[in-house]
Amino acid sequence: MSTAFQRVFQGQVEAVICDWAGTTYDFGSMAPIRAFQSLFESNGVPITTDEAREPMGTEKREHITQLLAMPRIKKAWLDKHDKEADEQVIDRLYHDFLPLQLDAIRECAQAIPGWLDTVSILKDRGIKIGANTGYNREMLETLSEIARGHGYAPESSVCASEVAKGRPFPHMSLKNALELGVSDVRSCIKVDDTIPGIEEGLAAGMWTVGVAVSGNETGYSMEDWQAIGPVEKQNLRTKAIQRFKANGTHIIIDSVADLALAVDQVNDWLTQGLSPDSDRLMGRVISAES
């Protein structure tokens, strides 16, 4: 590690780098789930919602590859097709997945409640906003076009298909940081609703904020979340928080509606001369209601 990165960083938060589905748009990260389930159903191998969510956060061809490697799905595929899925089959599935995903993105392209207000707050503070995703560029442009109509346009947007390695590797977040022109990765916060997204941020040397309620770890659409009772909500929220804590997340919030509070906390840590590699800073839960 260079001397420059060993010194204490004395700045404040310069940028937040946010995931898309389940973090800033698409409550519950439903679009990928619908597309993956439809894809496997059409191939005679239905998969459960939990199975579809397991590799969430990864690049979508890799997501298909990981699904096919799961023991139950692998056996079901073999039983149905008399042979295991090879690279040619994975290429074909990915090709078939694309239009399904685009349709699902259009259906689910609603901002997480509070996100557009948070964007205004961050911009007023001079904080840059970047974004990255497991989507490819065509998928991202479909979602970005809708988001621009809502007034949201991140200053840097990176797809997993545009870097050498997607999550949990740090390449996307580091590309965001370069494009945003930040002075130090320790001035960046990576915000994500998946564990691979948090691992990406940690590998990049950034602060991390996990989104417990609005995304993949809880996995409920807005309508389903609103329909369940307070006890079940708290149980699901607690389980998601525990998962983020176990994977080294610095701060856990319910949704990006509370992201400005997380920025305040990171700024306070930075003022104290603390950095993202301090283990004692992991697992802080922040909520506007607390």
Residues annotated as part of the active site? 19, 60
Among the listed residues 279, 280, 120, 266, the one whose alpha carbon sits nearest the alpha carbon of residue 187: 266
Among the listed residues 189, 207, 200, the one whose alpha carbon sits nearest the alpha carbon of residue 163: 200
Distance between CA 215 and CA 253 in Å, rounded? 11
Q: Please, is 231 exposed, middle or buried when counting C-beta atoms within 10 Å of its C-beta (0-12, 13-18, 19+)?
A: exposed
